[in-house]
Amino acid sequence: MTDPDPAVPVHDVELDACGLSCPLPLLKAKLELNRLTSGSVLLVKASDAGSQRDFRAFATLSGHSLLHEEVSGGVYSYWLRKA
């Protein structure tokens, strides 16, 4: 068993939005964030490349923190901390 990568934040909830076109991954993430308490971390996985632009802008405008993002095998992953 390998140790988790310390650069990747621990998340409280995971949302799989793979297969959905923008803006649906972001809309689903917003709904999920509304259910979470302040300080919770949401991991969103999406397959639409346009989600990069959407999640970066959303974090800036909403006040939530985009803690980390990565791309692997065509899956875009975003860790958001609720404000």
- Catalytically active residues are 22
Instruction: Check: CB of residue 79 under 8 Å from CB of residue 11.
Output: yes
CA distances from 80 to 18, 38, 72 (A): 17, 11, 18
Q: Which amino acid is at 53?
A: R
